Amino acid sequence: MSQSPQEIEKEIKDLESEIAQPGFWSNKDSAQEKILRLKELKLELEGGNKLDQGGAVLNILAGAGGEDSEDWVRMLLNMYLKYFEKQNWQVSFLHQHKNEQGGFRNLSLEIFGKNVYGAIKNESGVHRLVRISPFNAKAKRHTSFALVEVLPILPKTDFENFKNSIKNEEISLETFKASKPGGQNVNKRETAVRLVHKPSGLTVHISSERSQERNKEKAFALLYAKLFKLAEEKKKAELEGKSLAKITEREWGNQIRNYVTHPYKLVKDLRTNLETKEVEKILEKGEIEEFITAEKNL
């Protein structure tokens, strides 16, 4: 039975009071669970808009396959940028590792607008492309993979609360010179930042800003978003009785959508079974609204 707004408000106040207590973080697992519960209640009370209005980060990582997979990341980037443009969302690069052929080994985008995270969060997973390789002299068919990750940009209160649950010694920080395609350094100062969360192995890399301090700030925000989402996934796994080990594995086994241009044309989502033969409309024009809508019921 769903709670009334008054009951939700009371539970929110009780949790906020508990979070403010000095010994709240003594049990980190319990504390993180309560932080997540508080976020869920606030989202329910406010119609789910608070986290969505905060925007999202989209990461795309090329799988094995060299130039073909890196070109596949370029194609997915184009698809998403066209979709974001239709939504009138604001987009900026946080990081991009581009090759000399115009493909990407990996990239990160920051997106702001109405209901961004809520709309695209289910795009997370492996996207598979089957086509005639433009990089093969014999024009052979090739399968490429790319991993898409969508993270929430946390509201300030959630960010600060979750930040307090992470110990400084759990994070390592590296700085280095930002580079452009071909490995040439853009500047002489070490402005780019890489953070590693040692217990989970999660890594973030930010090089979009000119100052190291600003890149560090964005890197920490992105790392906490990754950890926040991981905590959500673990909680969901517990509720569904799934193994936590499965959740913490790399997500390359979680294939969600196929895009085929040869020997036939088809885009099919493996979760909703929605499919279309209009591949060009999807990849070149970013017309993925039908897939986005179907995914909201997952």
pLDDT value for 245: 53
**Rg of the chain taking only CA atoms, in angstroms:** 20
pLDDT value for 136: 85
Give kind and range of the element (H or E) at residue 267. Answer: strand 266-269
Q: Considering the domain 51-154+251-295, what is its CATH architecture?
A: 2-Layer Sandwich (3.30)
Segment among 109-113, 137-141, 179-183, 253-257 with least mean pLDDT: 179-183
pLDDT value for 67: 94
- pLDDT exceeds 90 at position 78: yes
pLDDT value for 249: 43
Share of the chain above pLDDT 90, in %: 39
- pLDDT exceeds 60 at position 184: no
Distance between CA atoms of 45 and 28, rounded to whole angstroms?
26
Supply angle C-alpha 281, 285, 286, rounded to 5.
95
pLDDT value for 187: 53
pLDDT value for 182: 46
Residue-averaged pLDDT of the chain: 83
pLDDT value for 109: 93
pLDDT value for 3: 64
Distance between CA atoms of 288 and 113, rounded to whole angstroms?
17
To the nearest 10 degrees (0 to 180), the angle between helices 28-45 and 5-19 is: 150
* pLDDT interval class at 279 (50, 70, 90): very high
Neighbours of 128 (CB within 10 A): 18
Tokens of 276: 């279309």
Kindly state the average pLDDT of the residues 241-249. 52
Give kind and range of the element (H or E) at residue 204. Answer: strand 202-206
Contact (CB, 8 A) for 87 and 117? no
Each residue of 44-70: pLDDT tens digit? 665 444 447 568 999 999 998 889 999
pLDDT value for 183: 47
Tokens of 38: 């508080």
pLDDT value for 91: 94
DSSP for 80-125, written as a single string: HHHHHHHTT-EEEEEEEEE-TTS-EEEEEEEEESTTHHHHHGGG-E
- pLDDT exceeds 80 at position 247: no
- pLDDT exceeds 80 at position 125: yes
DSSP symbol at 250: -
Kindly state the average pLDDT of the residues 190-201. 88
Tokens of 4: 């009334």
* pLDDT interval class at 139 (50, 70, 90): confident
Per-residue b or e along 243-282, where b marks 16 or more CB atoms closer than 10 Å to that residue's CB: eeeebeeebeeeebbbbbbeeeeebbbebbeeebeebeeb
Kindly state the average pLDDT of the residues 10-24. 88
